[in-house]
Amino acid sequence: MIRLLDIALALVAVLLLSPLLVAVTVVLRMTGEGEVLFWQERIGRYGHPFQILKFATMLRDSPNIGSGTITLSDDSRVLPVGRVLRATKINELPQLFNIIVGDMTFVGPRPHVARELRGVPAQDLERIYALAPGLTGIASIVFRDEEKILQSCSNPRVFYDEVIAPYKSSLEIWAAERMNIRLYIAMVFLTGVSVFIPKTNGWLYRIYPNLPELPPELRRVI
């Protein structure tokens, strides 16, 4: 049922958003480094790697520059047009094609590069690998402002590994244990709201009071 819903929603979204996709393609081709799409290996279901698709927003060699796979809010590697695409999440739209071909689902754990999974407890990692990675999910909404959170840290990499990654995994497991059509639709809707109202993450803890408790280090920023 979920797979059929994924395909239907993705096809409708591609059809409705095709003018925007074409416009972004033209703008990217004419600006920055002229790159339109960004392919990157991510870890998918059962630990199998796949190529995630995004609109290019950063310098071509950005994974090997500065903070590597972590992006900060004032990251100098992000191109001017890329800042707009990242702020509005338009850069993620090409993943609709990942959904159509079956690499991803609409709602599930965000797929990461292998390096970003080091902070996930082994028992959680096994459970997450059993799930199809998603375009959005509960952790994506809670960490809508992740780049700003990391920007405020003295050591973003350590903070991500020791605080953010473990908490993200607990959120994803919470959602997986309760996933049904109702929660699926709610996550899609709340993702849309969070694009226009970044502080949607605060609402989540009132809508779902049984969410995993925030670690002390995150209470001041979420």
Q: For residue 91, give the nearest of 53, 61, 64, 59 by alpha carbon.
A: 53
Report residue 60's pLDDT band, with 50, 70 and 90 as the boundaries: confident
What confidence category does residue 184 fall into, taking pLDDT thresholds of 50, 70 and 90?
very high
Q: Is the pTM of this model over 0.85?
A: yes
- Indicate if the pLDDT at residue 72 is higher than 80: no
Q: What's the pLDDT at 125? A: 83
Higher pLDDT, 146 or 202: 146
Rounded distance between C-alpha atoms, residue 149 and residue 105, angstroms: 27
Q: How confident is the model at residue 94 (pLDDT cuts 50, 70, 90)?
A: very high
Mean pLDDT lowest among 70-74, 113-117, 172-176, 218-222: 70-74
Q: Where are the beta strands (DSSP E) in 82-145?
A: 105-107, 134-136
d(CA 136, CA 176): 13
Q: What gap in Å lies between CA 124 and CA 13, rounded to an integer?
A: 32
CA distance 204 to 201: 5
List the one residue out of 155, 206, 178 whose CA is nearest residue 108: 178
Region 58-72: mean pLDDT is 73
Q: In this predicted structure, which of 30-44, 144-158, 179-193, 208-222 has the lowest mean pLDDT?
A: 144-158
Alpha carbon distances (Å) from 124 to 57, 159, 203: 31, 18, 25
- State the pLDDT at residue 67: 64
Distance CA 117, CA 135 (A): 17
**Is residue 58 a contact partner of residue 32, using CB atoms and an 8 Å limit?**
no
Q: Mean pLDDT, to the nearest integer, of 70-96?
A: 87
**Does position 142 have pLDDT exceeding 80, yes or no?**
yes
Output the pLDDT for position 10: 95
pLDDT at residue number 103: 95
Asked whether the beta carbons of 172 and 109 are under 8 A apart, the reply is yes
User: Would you say residue 93 has pLDDT above 90?
Assistant: yes
